[in-house]
Structure formats: C-alpha cells, structure tokens
Amino acid sequence: MNSVILNAATRILVPLLLVFSLFMTLRGHNDPGGGFIGGLIGSTAFIFYAIAFSTAEARSALRIEPEQLAIIGLGLALLAGLVSIVFNEALFTGQWLFLGASEGEKGLPISSVLLFDIGVYLVVMGGILALVFALEEEV
C-alpha cells in the first residue's frame, strides 16, 4: 500500500506496540497479560508494518524467520518446564531465583515461569507471523 499517512503512522505505532507487548508479557504473572497476549500484540506490530510497506520489508525488520522464532520459543518453554526436574519437583513447577539477595532482602525475582512466558511469546509471535506472511505473499 502506498499511503503517506499509513507509512507515517506505522513508524510511530510499531515501536509503541512492541513496547506494549513486552509490558503485557512481563506483567502476566500477577495481573492480566502474559506471553500469549504479548505475542499477539507483538505480531500485530509486524503485520501493521507489512501492510504499510511490504512483507519483504517486514521480514527484514524482524531479522529472523518467523518459523525459527517459534522454534526458539518452543525450546525456551520446554526448558522452563525441565528446570523443575533439576530440583526434584514435578514438571513445570515454578522455580524462583532471587538475584542480588542479601541478608533480610529477597533481591530481584527471576522465575522459570517468566522463561515460560517468554517462550510462549515467541511461539505465538512466530506462528502468527509465519501464517500471515505466507498468506500475504500468495496474494
């Protein structure tokens, strides 16, 4: 599509959508959100970019094939589930690590649940983009 307004709006909205998708992914533990909705919002940004410019430019802006993105995400989600086996817990039991923990303070919490959400984010984003890019390239 060759619209000056759409091109200008895309340059502003795509970074905002990507930041919002990361925000939704990271807040998903305690509030509504998570990897699934974050991945949908992130893929919407690249779909918007593909509509405004072209699918080829959207693929180059993504810098990795969507199928590879989904495979990496699936591996991260599986790794998050296997972390609990190391600690003799049931599969996909959440494990927490507190970075910078000192006497009387917990530190920064990092969990296997966060790793799982990031994996889901990448799987959803890669799957949706692979589907939409393939449909767009056939037209």
Residue 111 backbone phi and psi in degrees, to 5: -130, 160
Q: SS3 letters for 27-57?
A: CCCCCCCCHHHHHHHHHHHHHHHHHHCCHHH
29 pLDDT more than 70: no
Q: Where are the beta strands (DSSP E) in the chain?
A: 96-99, 108-111
Mean pLDDT within 32-36: 86
112 pLDDT more than 70: yes
Torsion angle (degrees, nearest 10) of CA 109, 112, 115, 119: -160
The percent of residues above 90 in pLDDT, for the chain, comes to 65
| DSSP state at residue 102 | B
114 pLDDT more than 80: yes
